[in-house]
Amino acid sequence: MSNAVSSLAVPAPGSKASEPEIRFEHVTKTFGRSESDLFRAVDDLSLDVYPGQIVALLGKTGCGKSTMFNMIAGLLDPTEGKVLVSGRDPFRNFDWYRGKIAIVFQNDRLLPWRTAIENVELGLEMLNVPGAQRRETAQRWLSRLGLGGHENDYPHALSGGMRQRVSIARAFATNAGLLLCDEPFSALDEMTAQRLREEFTSLVRENGKTAVFITHSINEALQIGDRIVVLKRPAKIAYDINLTADLGSAEKEAIREKIRDVLSA
Amino acid sequence: MTQQTLQSNWTSIVMPVLTRIAVLAAPFVLLAVAWQIAASMFPSYLFPSLIDVFLRFFKIVASWDQFVQVLATVGRIMAGLAGAFVIGGAMAIVMARSRATDNFLSPILTFFQGIPALSWVVFAIIWFHGIEFRILFIMIMTTLPAFTFQILGALRAVPKDLFEMVLSFRPTKAQMFRTMIWPSVFPEIVTAWKVNLGNAARVVVVAELVGATGGVGYELLQQQQLFDMAGALAWTLQLVMFVIIVQQILTWIEVVAFRYRAISERSL
């Protein structure tokens, strides 16, 4: 098994996906105003993510995963280098990505003054989708995620798992091509998280989305990703591997061991 | 449905309402009893009978010439509050967006907060001629700092994580205001109105007492000159009733608009 950086992270020969959906070109991101309090969150990072991939970004706390995430989302601008999403700079072309990127956050971030269905409709409202169509789409996604009958419940009346399902429905409802997920199941109990992971991956694959999934759990990365990128601190690729569907348990265990070694190095 | 079930339903619906009314009324009943005891012990120009006070109260309501004075005062309160809310809201938005503007305006507003309402009355009489403009000016100047600071606080307290979530959908400015900003600040705005309503009701009387030829404040001045305690109380009660009615409307708005809030079975 190879552990060469990025060597396995390119599309398979003959693949139609030659243009990356996300490209990091020697990206560095620093915080702080003066040299003395300068904090380097991302250091000369280069990474390509291809359409249809589910990439699990794995790393210890504070390794710059969220900074990378915010740069893809267009919320942060790199200090050096270039971030491109669908060939454009997401920070400078912020509005161009309306309806093209959807985010599932670590906590559900539901608007407390909106019912479950109204929360799912939020992204569709930004796209000016007519009311009836909006409601029908939101209803369909809530039902798909097992929340039929809870449409008119306010967030405070839902359990943590149900609220996170609503936030997943909200992300899928806009039919965005790129999904960004920031440890969305880390606050849930293992049983609920396991069920939601399965639902999430099948939804991403069924709908042909590209997904970047931030996690600090090796098991979660192995379960969700068809590619795992391990980051060292500050964010720089330490290990990058594509996973195939027919991976045996012995091979998975070997990958798990390798990731452990990289993380503890 | 049996008669027993009907009676049980009636009891379960009506009894809590009656209990609530009794709890609300109890302190006022005690106050009224204490007043009536004082009325039996002191001359009526000091403590008039409550019957006299209520007769005067209803006479004001029944007489258009007198009730129009109450409406004039109510109009001045609402105009002053609306003016202060619009100006204060605009200032708060600018202050929330610009640190420099905040640094410039905050000390001025704090300075204004320290100026007594009576001083604004004197300034208004010296500076302006029109009675209505004087009162509007006094009302705005006395309630403006509180409105501005309360709205500014509400804007700063908009949850950052929810704001970022909405922002991730790339809303227009109008969409961001409608879906995120307004629902976040609305509870604070209702509270600001509730607090400023009481302040405005007190200030408007002072303004009318000194500088007006009509309104509840002016009528109170007349009662003082006639040494008519029943009249003074009856006019005061008109204003109190207005404040209670508007507070109830605001409470009703809170109940309807904030029904999404979780209610704990244990109170603070």
The torsion region of residue A51 among left (phi > 0), alpha (psi -120 to 50) and beta comes to beta
Residue owning tokens 């006299």:
B52
Burial-class residue B123 by CB neighbours within 10 Å (0-12, 13-18, 19+).
middle
pLDDT over threshold 70, residue A115: yes
For chains A and B, what is the number of CB pairs under 8 angstroms? Answer: 53
Whether residues A111 and B179 touch (CB distance < 8 A) is answered with yes
Residues pairing with A80 in the sheet: A28
Q: What's the CA dihedral at B35, B37, B41, B47 to 10 degrees?
A: 20
Name the band, by pLDDT with cuts 50, 70 and 90, for residue A3.
very low
CA distance B175 to chain A (A): 7
Phi, psi angle pair for A222, to nearest 5°: -70, -35
SS3 (DSSP) at A29: strand
Higher pLDDT, A235 or B29: B29
Q: How far apart are CA B17 and CA B9, in angstroms?
A: 13
Nearest to B168 among A103, A113, A157 (CB): A103
pLDDT of amino acid B78? 94
Domains belonging to chain A, first-starting first, are 1-100+176-265 (3.40.50.300), 110-174 (no CATH)
Name the band, by pLDDT with cuts 50, 70 and 90, for residue A233.
confident
With CA atoms as reference, report the closest residue to A44 among A233, A214, A235: A235
DSSP string over B22-79? HHHHHHHHHHHHHHHHHHHHS-TTTS--HHHHHHHHHHHHH-HHHHHHHHHHHHHHHH
pLDDT over threshold 70, residue A4: no
Whether residues B168 and A111 touch (CB distance < 8 A) is answered with no
Amino acid at A208: G
- How many residues does this entry show for chain A? 265
Nearest to A97 among B166, B170, B175 (CB): B170
Amino acid at A53: Q
pLDDT of amino acid B265? 62
What per-residue string of b and e applies to B154-167 under the rule 16 or more CB within 10 Å gives b?
bbeeeeeebeebbb
pLDDT tens per residue across span A31-64: 887 777 788 888 888 999 999 999 999 888 878 8
Name the band, by pLDDT with cuts 50, 70 and 90, for residue A5.
very low
Whether residues A105 and B165 touch (CB distance < 8 A) is answered with yes
With CA atoms as reference, report the closest residue to A240 among A48, A16, A26: A48
Q: How far apart are CA A187 and CA A167, in angstroms?
A: 14
Token code pair at residue B64: 């258009």
Whether residues B169 and A122 touch (CB distance < 8 A) is answered with yes
pLDDT of amino acid B1? 56
SS3 (DSSP) at A212: strand
pLDDT tens per residue across span A9-29: 444 433 445 689 999 999 999
Chain centroid offset of residue A191 CA: 21
SS3 (DSSP) at A6: coil
Amino acid at B246: V
**Side-chain half-sphere exposure of A33, counting CA atoms within 13 A:** 0
Q: How far apart are CA A170 and CA A103, in angstroms?
A: 9
Name the band, by pLDDT with cuts 50, 70 and 90, for residue A1.
very low
pLDDT of amino acid A14? 37
Count of helix runs (H) and strand runs (E) in chain B: 11, 0
Dmax of chain B from CA atoms?
A: 74
* DSSP category for residue B177: I
CA distance A222 to chain B (A): 27
Bridge pairing between strands A227-232 and A236-242: antiparallel
pLDDT of amino acid B245? 92
Q: How far apart are CA A148 and CA A238, in angstroms?
A: 43
pLDDT tens per residue across span A62-102: 788 888 889 999 989 999 999 999 999 999 999 999 999 99
Residues in Cβ contact with B40 at an 8 Å cutoff, skipping those fewer than 6 apart = none
State whether ipTM is beyond 0.90: no
Phi, psi angle pair for B266, to nearest 5°: -105, 135
Domains belonging to chain B, first-starting first, are 68-228 (1.10.3720.10)
Where are the extended beta strands (E) located within chain A?
A: 22-31, 39-49, 54-59, 80-85, 101-104, 178-182, 210-215, 227-232, 236-242
pLDDT of amino acid A186? 82
- Residue pair B197/B150 in contact by the 8 Å Cβ criterion: no
CA atoms B147, B148, B149, B153: torsion sign: positive
Token code pair at residue A169: 């429905």
CA atoms B69, B74, B79, B80: torsion sign: positive
Per CB-CB distance under 8 Å, the chain A contacts of B160 are none
The mean pLDDT of chain A is 86
- Residue pair B235/B60 in contact by the 8 Å Cβ criterion: yes
Helix H, strand E, coil C: the string for B93-129 is HHHHHCHHHHHHHHHHHHHHHCCCHHHHHHHHHHHCC
pLDDT tens per residue across span A156-191: 999 988 999 999 999 999 989 999 998 888 877 888
Which of the residues in chain B have pLDDT under 50? none
Per CB-CB distance under 8 Å, the chain B contacts of A168 are none
- Residue pair A210/A222 in contact by the 8 Å Cβ criterion: no
Q: Which of B166, B168, B181 to mutate to test the interface with A (most CBs of A within 10 A)?
A: B168
- Residue pair A250/A258 in contact by the 8 Å Cβ criterion: no
Q: Count CB-CB contacts under 10 A for residue B262.
A: 9
